[in-house]
Amino acid sequence: AALNGPTSVVIAGDEDAAVSIAASFGAQGRKTKRLTVSHAFHSPLMDPMLEAFRKVAESLTYEAPKIPVVSNLTGTIAPAAEIATAGFWVRHVREAVRFLDGMRAMEAQGVTTYLELGPDGVLSALGQECLAGESEHVALVPVLRSGRPEAETLTTALATLHTRGTAPDWAAYYAGTGAERVELPTYAFQREHYWLDAGTAYGDVSSVGLGSADHPLLGAAVSLADAEGFLFTGRLALDTHPWLADHAVMGTVLLPGTAFVELAVRAGEQAGCDLVEELTLEAPLILPERGGVRLQIAVGAPDDTGRRTLALHSRPDEAGDDEPWVRHATGALAAGGAEGSFDLSAWPPAGAERIDTDGLYEGLADAGFGYGPVFQGLRAAWRGDGEVYAEVALPEDTDPGAALFGVHPALLDAVLHTIGLSDLTENPGQGGLPFSWTGVRVHSVGADTVRVRLSPAGNGTVSLQLADVTGAPVASVDRLALRTVSPDQLTAPGGASDALFTVDWTPIPATSEQVSPDRWAVVGSEVPGLGTLGGEIAAYADLGALAEAVAAGTALPERVVVSLTGDSAAPEGPGAANQARPAFEDTPEGR
């Protein structure tokens, strides 16, 4: 009567014969069950009613189906003209149901979504057994389920069809409910699980009287009450900033020199200074394997020209109040940084020669520079006309991303890797760390891919110009100097011996030539001892008098001697010599 599956067959007909066949299967260990039905459908016992059924079927009006129909009468796609006849449906009463063949016919047609219209999910269960191929991407969806609310099962079925590419008539479904269509985001859902990363948890710093710094490397920012300065604080650790572990030098994780630049840029932004005039790194900031370091950035009050001093210090988490802070960098911030006027839209530059970058990071690793994936951003490089060009990008999954920084430290650090491929510095090919930055400007923020032009800037320094993928300016550096580093310079923080760079006095031998005082000038009272040199030495009451004499045509003196002994006519204090400079620098000879 029916082939319902590979192991499910229904037998119908004379009761004695059917019972005998069932007993034979039972003796073979097969499971059998007598169905509770009123008639032996799909068997010869239906013959007496076929003519009466035909008359009823012929009284109906038929239309050809608009979609293909797989018939359980044949187990194949039924011809449209045949379905629209009474004889087709009479055969359905008499002949066997070939459900197994019908399911496999649909499977062969590429069907992967099956909707069961009926009082329960019996056919969905049978259909699952009929499929011969992989079933993990197949869905069999019953519209109704026994014992469950109809509205729930119907809605679930429609939702399942919708998620599998079918387009239900939602207007008809929601008719009369007042529901309205709303716009979804313009991007496709990624279908990825997302665990919220707490990141650097500083909490609500406003509850303790501080302002949020809104920066991945900082926690709080506050303007000082008794001065026109600012103080920024934060905490750095590998558990809260794991991406920094990708910047290891000689086996020690260091805060990149480019991160100091980013911190200076952020501090300058809040202080109204868009130019990092200078930034000198004095000691490395080592990130320990366990625990972290506390960070302070102090920005001083503006001087007469609007310049502000900058100092960055750190101290380990476990340090007591009596333990000194380590100063890592000092610098100056200023306002009025020029807009970027360069253009790198023509890319790569015409006539530039491609530089082979294969094996770059392997070579740097052998030299002790262990750059992880986040810092391996150099994609391509070229050289031409004494300059070097590069294309640098952050990995797609970099977290935190470029949008949270002025210029992402890992991106800017990867820019510097190009220097090792060139002869722009005194030691080409040797790895080095940033030592001093001059004239750093950020023109636009958030770039994750940049084009770079590196040019010699004199005295072993280089200048940098960074642009986005359209060639528009992102950042520029007037001069950058690098210094080599050795393992003994990378010890745990705690004192001056840890400094990466130290001051070394170099003796200059005294000249044996006779010094003539003819082009000397004295400001203030006569300086004891000058008379022994002989000659006429011009004297001026104060700096103003010297400036007037130079403006009137007096030859610019080769040396100016200023008394620091307290004469009221002369400036006092250790800065007196610097105060004398403007008196003659603003002249044609001085310039």
What number of H helices and E strands is found in the chain?
13, 26
Evaluate whether residue 49 is within a structural domain.
yes
pLDDT at 584: 47
Q: Are residues 53 and 169 in the same domain?
A: yes
pLDDT at 573: 46
pLDDT at 422: 76
List the single range of 11-25, 197-211, 565-579 with lowest mean pLDDT. 565-579
> 297-324 pLDDT, tens per residue?
999 999 999 999 999 999 998 888 888 9
Evaluate whether residue 113 is within a structural domain.
yes
Q: Are residues 385 and 258 in the same domain?
A: no
> 165-219 pLDDT, tens per residue?
888 898 898 899 999 888 887 877 777 767 765 555 556 777 777 888 889 999 8
Contact assessment for residue 567 and residue 524, using Cβ atoms and an 8 Å cutoff: yes
Evaluate whether residue 200 is within a structural domain.
no
> Where are the extended beta strands (E) located within 238-336?
247-249, 252-253, 275-281, 292-299, 308-316, 326-334
Whether residue 487 is predicted with pLDDT greater than 80 in this model: the reply is no
pLDDT at 566: 52
Contact assessment for residue 331 and residue 279, using Cβ atoms and an 8 Å cutoff: yes
pLDDT at 197: 59
* Chain centroid, CA 115 distance in Å: 44
Quick check: bond before 400 cis, omega within 30?
A: yes
Residues 330-343: what's their mean pLDDT? 86
40 contacts: CB under 8 Å, gap ≥ 6? 1, 12, 13, 14, 15, 18, 46
pLDDT band at residue 590, thresholds of 50, 70 and 90? very low
**What integer best gives the mean pLDDT of the chain?**
85
Whether residue 583 is predicted with pLDDT greater than 50 in this model: the reply is no
pLDDT band at residue 294, thresholds of 50, 70 and 90? very high
Task: Please give the residue that has the higher pLDDT: either 402 or 319.
Answer: 402
Quick check: bond before 348 cis, omega within 30?
A: yes
Q: Are residues 11 and 138 in the same domain?
A: yes
Residues 105-133: what's their mean pLDDT? 90
Neighbour-count burial of 485, counting CB atoms closer than 10 A to its CB (0-12 exposed, 13-18 middle, 19+ buried) = buried
Q: Are residues 156 and 247 in the same domain?
A: no
Whether residue 406 is predicted with pLDDT greater than 80 in this model: the reply is yes
pLDDT at 266: 95
pLDDT band at residue 140, thresholds of 50, 70 and 90? very high
pLDDT at 136: 76
| Packing angle of the helix pair 409-416, 257-271 (nearest 10 deg) | 130
* Chain centroid, CA 307 distance in Å: 33
Evaluate whether residue 591 is within a structural domain.
no
Q: Which residue has the tokens 């005194």?
A: 426
What range defines the domain where residue 292 resides?
A: 205-334
What are the structure tokens assigned to 208, written together?
Answer: 């303790």
DSSP state of 487: G
Q: Are residues 285 and 408 in the same domain?
A: no
Evaluate whether residue 167 is within a structural domain.
yes
Residues 482-506: what's their mean pLDDT? 65
List the single range of 122-136, 293-307, 497-511 with lowest mean pLDDT. 497-511
* Chain centroid, CA 136 distance in Å: 35
Largest Cα–Cα separation, the chain: 148
Among candidate residues 131, 158, 173, the one where a domain is terminated? 173
Backbone phi, then psi, for 230, in 5-degree steps?
-135, 155
pLDDT at 244: 95
Q: Are residues 464 and 575 in the same domain?
A: no
Nearest to 1 by CA among 42, 44, 50, 49: 42
Q: Can you tell me the distance from the alpha carbon of 252 to that of 241, in angstroms, rounded to the nearest whole number?
A: 15
Q: Are residues 413 and 534 in the same domain?
A: no
Q: Are residues 143 and 9 in the same domain?
A: yes
Neighbour-count burial of 567, counting CB atoms closer than 10 A to its CB (0-12 exposed, 13-18 middle, 19+ buried) = middle
Domains in the chain, number: 4
Nearest to 525 by CA among 569, 558, 471: 569
Task: Please give the residue that has the higher pLDDT: either 591 or 536.
Answer: 536
Q: Are residues 365 and 327 in the same domain?
A: no
pLDDT at 24: 92
Q: Are residues 24 and 107 in the same domain?
A: yes
Nearest to 359 by CA among 339, 378, 375: 378
Whether residue 572 is predicted with pLDDT greater than 60 in this model: the reply is no
Evaluate whether residue 189 is within a structural domain.
no
Residues 474-497: what's their mean pLDDT? 74
CATH of the domain at 115: 3.40.366.10
Could you tell me how many residues make up the chain?
591
pTM attached to this predicted model: 0.53
518 contacts: CB under 8 Å, gap ≥ 6? 535, 536
Residues 331-351: what's their mean pLDDT? 86
Say what percent of the chain tops pLDDT 90. Answer: 51
120 contacts: CB under 8 Å, gap ≥ 6? 142, 144, 145, 146
What are the structure tokens assigned to 438, written together?
Answer: 């001059």
Whether residue 40 is predicted with pLDDT greater than 80 in this model: the reply is yes
CATH of the domain at 227: 3.10.129.110
Other beta carbons within 10 angstroms of residue 42's beta carbon come to: 19
Residues 22-51: what's their mean pLDDT? 91
Residues 379-394: what's their mean pLDDT? 92
Contact assessment for residue 403 and residue 259, using Cβ atoms and an 8 Å cutoff: no
Whether residue 587 is predicted with pLDDT greater than 60 in this model: the reply is no
Evaluate whether residue 513 is within a structural domain.
no
Contact assessment for residue 103 and residue 127, using Cβ atoms and an 8 Å cutoff: yes
List the single range of 55-69, 278-292, 574-588 with lowest mean pLDDT. 574-588
| Residue 442, amino acid | V
List the single range of 96-100, 122-126, 297-301, 493-497 with lowest mean pLDDT. 493-497
For CA atoms 567, 569, 572, 575, the dihedral sign is negative
| Packing angle of the helix pair 86-94, 50-58 (nearest 10 deg) | 150
Evaluate whether residue 43 is within a structural domain.
yes
Residues 53-67: what's their mean pLDDT? 93
Q: Can you tell me the distance from the alpha carbon of 87 to that of 436, in angstroms, rounded to the nearest whole number?
A: 95
Q: Can you tell me the distance from the alpha carbon of 494 to that of 504, in angstroms, rounded to the nearest whole number?
A: 20
* Chain centroid, CA 488 distance in Å: 34
pLDDT at 313: 96
pLDDT at 206: 74
| Residue 466, amino acid | L
pLDDT at 408: 96
Contact assessment for residue 285 and residue 404, using Cβ atoms and an 8 Å cutoff: no
What are the structure tokens assigned to 56, written together?
Answer: 């009823």
pLDDT at 427: 57
> Where are the extended beta strands (E) located within 39-166?
70-71, 76-77, 113-116, 139-142
Instruction: Find residue 268's DSSP bridge partners.
Output: none
> Cα–Cα–Cα angle for 492, 367, 286, nearest 5°?
20
Q: Are residues 58 and 169 in the same domain?
A: yes
Among candidate residues 301, 334, 367, the one where a domain is terminated? 334
Say what percent of the chain tops pLDDT 70. Answer: 87
Whether residue 389 is predicted with pLDDT greater than 90 in this model: the reply is yes
pLDDT at 436: 94
Residues 142-167: what's their mean pLDDT? 92
Nearest to 455 by CA among 389, 514, 403: 389
- The full 3-state SS of 568-589, as one line of letters, equals CCCCCCCCHHHHHHHHHHCCCC
Q: Which residue has the tokens 């387009």?
A: 167
Q: Are residues 18 and 166 in the same domain?
A: yes
Nearest to 151 by CA among 169, 173, 168, 172: 173
Whether residue 545 is predicted with pLDDT greater than 90 in this model: the reply is no
pLDDT band at residue 527, thresholds of 50, 70 and 90? low
